[in-house]
Amino acid sequence: MPALPDKQTAFIDWYLAVVDAATLTDKRYGVKGMNVWTPYGFLARRHLDAVLVREIEATGSSPVEFPALIPANEFAKEKEHIKGFDAEVYWVTKGGLSELDIPLILRPTSETAMYPIFALWVRSHRDLPLNVYQVVNVFRYETKTTRPFLRVREIHFFEEHTCQVDEAAADLRVRSNLDAFGRMAKAFALPYVAVRRPEWDKFAGAFYSIAFDIPVGAGRTLQIGSVHHYRENFSGPYGIQYETTDGTQRLVHQTTFGLSERLLGAIIAVHGDAKGAVFPTAVAPYEVVIVPIPSAGAGPGPEATATEVVDRLGRHGRRVHLDSGDERPGAKYYRWELQGVPVRLEIGRREAAARTATAVDRLGRKQTVSLDTLEGEVDAFLEEFDRALYDRALATFRDAFRVVPSMDGLKEFAHVGIVGWCGKEECGHAIETAVEGGLLGTPESELPLAPGAPVACISCGSGTDVRWALAGRPL
Amino acid sequence: MPALPDKQTAFIDWYLAVVDAATLTDKRYGVKGMNVWTPYGFLARRHLDAVLVREIEATGSSPVEFPALIPANEFAKEKEHIKGFDAEVYWVTKGGLSELDIPLILRPTSETAMYPIFALWVRSHRDLPLNVYQVVNVFRYETKTTRPFLRVREIHFFEEHTCQVDEAAADLRVRSNLDAFGRMAKAFALPYVAVRRPEWDKFAGAFYSIAFDIPVGAGRTLQIGSVHHYRENFSGPYGIQYETTDGTQRLVHQTTFGLSERLLGAIIAVHGDAKGAVFPTAVAPYEVVIVPIPSAGAGPGPEATATEVVDRLGRHGRRVHLDSGDERPGAKYYRWELQGVPVRLEIGRREAAARTATAVDRLGRKQTVSLDTLEGEVDAFLEEFDRALYDRALATFRDAFRVVPSMDGLKEFAHVGIVGWCGKEECGHAIETAVEGGLLGTPESELPLAPGAPVACISCGSGTDVRWALAGRPL
């Protein structure tokens, strides 16, 4: 196995090599940008999804599933939305041996599948709020270079859609979603910024959009999710209205919250290192691998002890894997480090005799664990690992931003820039040109730096209505 | 709410009314045969899937997910298979604004998506067996009348695909699948027969097919799953071969195991009754609903006790739902019976004062439960409910079959016929004509009746090579 490319200087090459080496996906499928979820990658996705489901259901959202195919006429009802997606949808034009009367599109997102039904579900104020979500695959005919998990044509997708009584209630749902994402990101040990996108970069059909961005080195950023307020932009065309307590009809205000398999890409991109992938415990296909170290000698064998450890941790609810293959132990360590398993337990003859195991976490910390207190010690060791992983990610995150006081400073800049901006679109575009990237927007979460109040727009120099904005190079 | 149609005399009307009344699906979506999974229906599906996943993973199968779109040229490689599906696939011909170079089909099943990749995964005897499964949606341009869960165009689907060293190993995998299905069906309280389909009714491309059938009244049967042995029929065209221990190349033998949302339809069809749906505990969206009965008076209120019960059962791992709405209790009982909840706990002032709850199961059994021993008593009450539900289904199942000694006896016959058959195709077709249905095939599981050895073919009268076969009217 050749060494991985250098993460700092060859990020994308490093990323692609890690995804391959960790056997998370198989890219050899016959359609570009549509990859195979291998068993190992699928398990990571399963555990990632479980976090999303747990956190969104804790906020009172219910699971649903709408069809994958959308009639072309429903798709066309909201004009901005169709403009945004027209060039990237797949068209189903034939069923069996005959042309379809009405062509169908494969959902690129599900507004236009759900909202005609929402119009039937919502009748009265008693039906509100309507908070539902689904975890499904969506399809986009992506023309840019595809990358596993980061940009694909069949996308594993999480989408919440809600209907609220009015704009203020929808604002509150947006806040609740931001909080829920905070809890999800914590489980993934991912520091991020929430950023209100500028007008020209909103979701197609949105009133406003707040996205979650993470820096991935050299000023590059990755959008890992977003929350949108639609106001009445969709409820109007789709006729989603309700009878208020005083008997009048009103359109609902809507919100959406979208996440995708890109989160898995982000976990690899942020936590991975020179040794390969690193999974936080919540997502790891296996939390613990047990490696018995065979050797000749008297006393209890390592294999029997390894089996006991696997059984006990499994009963304790841990995802454990016994690696009893015939490779030498060093080759096993190397492979499980590549695959990002949080903790391995080494059990040799010495450990077996002493009723212990040697625990080593993916960040290199080592500790002897007594079998008498195995479950509690492994729990604590994993907890410390997650904390250390988050701390490492946070240090890198904090170092990825710089306050930039002048347009010149943005050129060939290796950080995400924090810049003063007057809010005018022309200045925004000037900043985008200077950074050779995007004006990500204005922060909605605490900045990793505390730069005080902005003084002037970095572009026009105006001191009126200046706010901080982030400038970076979206991947 | 009008009364449900009669299950015996108007089965399909009854079935459709129950599915609607129990709010398991919304059929008003704009594409025929593509329905919306409502929150309640989705939860039933989630728990049903969990049983499938648990049982198949217990047999050493790993989860994967292959793309939904299959290049037309890959789809065409196995000739029988494409003949079987050609008339019912959806074609994706356009991506964005341009025609695709190679049209794609939406998977109707995933042989042709998986097997080109299997050819890459399988290299050596050490890679075998390869046992993988996925739970995904598949698409079939169904031309018959669609029915929720029973016959739809977007189908929630479970498919296991395996590669084995030889025919005997593949036979063993088929047996392992039959056993696994037995455990799944037990969790769903569904009696069934496993039947080897006649040659003319095999899966497209199979060497042999074994299907699971359940009787649903009046001689009608529902196929709720199937297991297939493919021999080398696919591994040949797709080049899935391995190096044996002696260095030669051999094609693998393959098997598949398919189930679908039809299982949910079967659960409704078999267990439902004049009061609506009835869910076995394993599948129930809520296992227990708690209905506090408000009333004036002194002492502890029913609401506080209800909250305590919900909290305790929830912590105990039970899926509980507190119905604190302002309907009267009778209306709530009626609705939860319609929706098939296994057990309700009624808590009035008297119960609250006595620290008890009145448990009533969906079959009408009633019992006072002490809060001191709440968790254990509820567990036992649910277990007894599942047993009683299975016993009720088994009695109906046993009564659905009859040995039929003559062709005349098959006409206007209200049972699934057990008939002597010589194995010849022409006699099979004659039986199908007589029963106005199908020769389901020869039983691979114990028959519900023990008819002794068959004497003569019901069609030609031959006494040579006679075996029992089942004749019914597949729904």
Q: Tens of pLDDT along B85-96? A: 888 999 999 999
Instruction: Name the A residues in 37-66 with CB < 8 Å from any B CB.
Output: 37-39, 42-43, 46, 62-66
- Name the residue facing A68 among B67, B94, B154 (closest C-beta): B154
Find the mean pLDDT for residues B306-310.
Answer: 97
Q: Which residues pair with B225 in a beta bridge?
A: B212
Instruction: Name the B residues in 103-162 with CB < 8 Å from any A CB.
Output: 104, 106, 113, 116-117, 120-121, 132, 137, 139, 141, 143, 154
B86 contact residues in A (CB cutoff 8 A): 96-97
- The confidence band for B83, taking pLDDT boundaries of 50, 70 and 90, is confident
Find the mean pLDDT for residues B411-419.
Answer: 90
Q: Which of B5-19, B69-83, B131-145, B261-275 has the lowest mean pLDDT?
A: B69-83
**C-alpha pair distances (Å), A220 with each of A7, A315, A407, A414, A437:** 13, 43, 18, 8, 9
The residue of chain B nearest to residue A105, with distances taken between CA atoms, is B92
**Nearest CA of chain A to the CA of B68: how many Å?**
8
Q: What is the 3-state secondary structure (H, E, C) of chain B?
A: CCCCCCCCCCHHHHHHHHHHHCCCEECCCCCCCCCEECHHHHHHHHHHHHHHHHHHHCCCCEECECCCEEEHHHHCCCHHHHHHHHHHCEEEEEECCEEEEEEEEECCCCHHHHHHHHHHHCCEHHHCCEEEEEEEEEECCCCCCCECCCECCEEEEEEEEEEECCHHHHHHHHHHHHHHHHHHHHHCCCCCEEEECCHHHCCCCCCEEEEEEEECCCCEEEEEEEEEEEECCCHHHHCCEEECCCCCEEECEEEEEEEECHHHHHHHHHHCECCECCCCCCCCCCCEEEEECCCCCCCCCHHHHHHHHHHHHHHCCCCEEECCCCCCHHHHHHHHHHCCCCEEEEECHHHHHHCEEEEEECCCCEEEEEHHHHHHHHHHHHHHHHHHHHHHHHHHHHHCEEECCCHHHHCCCCCEEEEEECCCHHHHHHHHHHHCCEEEEEECCCCCCCCCCCCCCCCCCCCCCCEEEEEEEEC
Interface test with B, best of A61, A64, A101, A142 (most B CBs within 10 A): A64
Q: What is the dihedral of CA A11, A16, A19, A23, to 10 degrees?
A: -150
Query: Which pLDDT belongs to residue A1?
Result: 60
Instruction: Name the B residues in 12-41 with CB < 8 Å from any A CB.
Output: 26, 28-31, 34-39
pLDDT digits (tens, 9 = 90+) for B239-274: 999 999 999 999 999 999 999 999 999 999 999 999
**Nearest CA of chain B to the CA of A135: how many Å?**
11
Size of interface A-B (CB pairs under 8 A): 140
Query: Which pLDDT belongs to residue A86?
Result: 85
Q: Is A50 helix (H, G, I), strand (E, B) or coil?
A: helix
Task: Judge contact between A434 and A409, C-beta under 8 A.
Answer: no
Q: Are residues A117 and B62, on separate chains, in Cβ contact within 8 Å?
A: no
The residue of chain A nearest to residue B137, with distances taken between CA atoms, is A68
End-to-end C-alpha distance for chain A, whole angstroms: 28
A29 contact residues in B (CB cutoff 8 A): 66-67, 113, 116-117
A66 contact residues in B (CB cutoff 8 A): 29, 36-37
Q: Are residues B31 and A62, on separate chains, in Cβ contact within 8 Å?
A: no
Interface test with B, best of A20, A25, A26, A29 (most B CBs within 10 A): A29
Inform me whether the pLDDT recorded for B388 exceeds 90: yes
**Nearest CA of chain A to the CA of B152: how many Å?**
11
A62 contact residues in B (CB cutoff 8 A): 39, 42
B39 contact residues in A (CB cutoff 8 A): 62-64, 132
The whole-number mean pLDDT for each consecutive block of 10 residues of chain A, a chain of 475 residues, reads 89 97 97 97 98 98 98 88 88 94 95 97 98 98 95 98 98 98 98 97 95 95 98 97 97 98 98 98 98 82 94 98 94 98 97 96 98 98 98 97 92 91 97 96 89 92 96 94
Task: Judge contact between A150 and A262, C-beta under 8 A.
Answer: yes
Report the amino acid identity of residue B21: A
**Nearest CA of chain A to the CA of B76: how many Å?**
14
Query: Which pLDDT belongs to residue B84?
Result: 83
Tokens representing A53 are 């489901």
**Can the peptide bond before residue A71 be classed as cis, meaning omega within 30 degrees of 0?**
no
More confident residue, B452 or B140: B140
B74 contact residues in A (CB cutoff 8 A): 30
Instruction: Name the A residues in 208-247 with CB < 8 Å from any B CB.
Output: none
**Nearest CA of chain B to the CA of A120: how many Å?**
9
**Nearest CA of chain A to the CA of B362: how many Å?**
25
Tell me if chain A has a CB within 8 Å of the CB of B89.
yes
> What is the DSSP annotation of A270-281?
HH-BTTB----T
- The confidence band for B1, taking pLDDT boundaries of 50, 70 and 90, is low
CA-CA distance, B108 to B72, in Å (whole number)? 12
Q: Is A297 left (phi over 0), alpha (psi -120 to 50) or beta?
A: left
B291 Cβ contact partners less than 8 Å away, ≥ 6 residues apart: B306, B323, B329, B332, B333, B336, B344, B345, B346, B347
End-to-end C-alpha distance for chain B, whole angstroms: 28
- Name the residue facing A63 among B43, B92, B96 (closest C-beta): B43
Burial of A368 (0-12, 13-18, 19+ CB in 10 A): exposed
**Nearest CA of chain A to the CA of B171: how many Å?**
24
The residue of chain A nearest to residue B63, with distances taken between CA atoms, is A39
CA-CA distance, A445 to A150, in Å (whole number)? 24
Task: Judge contact between A140 and A108, C-beta under 8 A.
Answer: yes
The residue of chain B nearest to residue A72, with distances taken between CA atoms, is B30
What sign does the dihedral B79-B81-B86-B92 (CA atoms) show? negative
**Nearest CA of chain B to the CA of A75: how many Å?**
11
**Nearest CA of chain B to the CA of A402: how many Å?**
39
**Nearest 5°: CA angle at A309, between A306 and A310?**
85
B104 contact residues in A (CB cutoff 8 A): 31, 90
Task: Judge contact between B455 and B420, C-beta under 8 A.
Answer: yes
Q: What is the dihedral of CA A216, A217, A218, A219, to 10 degrees?
A: 40
Cα radius of gyration (chain B): 25
Q: How far is CA B228 from the centre of its chain?
A: 16
Q: Is A171 helix (H, G, I), strand (E, B) or coil?
A: helix
Instruction: Name the A residues in 68-87 with CB < 8 Å from any B CB.
Output: 68-71, 74, 86-87
Q: Are residues B66 and A29, on separate chains, in Cβ contact within 8 Å?
A: yes
Q: Which residues pair with B91 in a beta bridge?
A: A94, B105
Query: Which pLDDT belongs to residue B80?
Result: 83
- Name the residue facing B141 among A36, A96, A117 (closest C-beta): A96
pLDDT digits (tens, 9 = 90+) for B21-55: 999 999 999 999 999 999 999 999 999 999 999 99
The residue of chain B nearest to residue A103, with distances taken between CA atoms, is B92
Q: Which of A310-314, A386-390, B372-376, B410-414 has the lowest mean pLDDT?
A: B410-414
Report the amino acid identity of residue B127: D
CA-CA distance, A341 to A362, in Å (whole number)? 7
CA-CA distance, A79 to B98, in Å (whole number)? 21
**Nearest 5°: CA angle at B432, between B426 and B433?**
90
Tokens representing B261 are 């949302």
Q: Are residues B67 and A34, on separate chains, in Cβ contact within 8 Å?
A: yes
Inform me whether the pLDDT recorded for B2 exceeds 80: no
- Name the residue facing A92 among B97, B106, B120 (closest C-beta): B106
Query: Which pLDDT belongs to residue B449?
Result: 82
Query: Which pLDDT belongs to residue B451?
Result: 79
Query: Which pLDDT belongs to residue B268?
Result: 98
pLDDT digits (tens, 9 = 90+) for B189-247: 999 999 999 999 999 899 999 999 999 999 999 999 999 999 999 999 999 999 999 99
Tokens representing A312 are 């006990």
Q: Are residues B37 and A68, on separate chains, in Cβ contact within 8 Å?
A: no
- Name the residue facing A31 among B67, B96, B120 (closest C-beta): B67
- Name the residue facing A63 among B42, B67, B121 (closest C-beta): B42
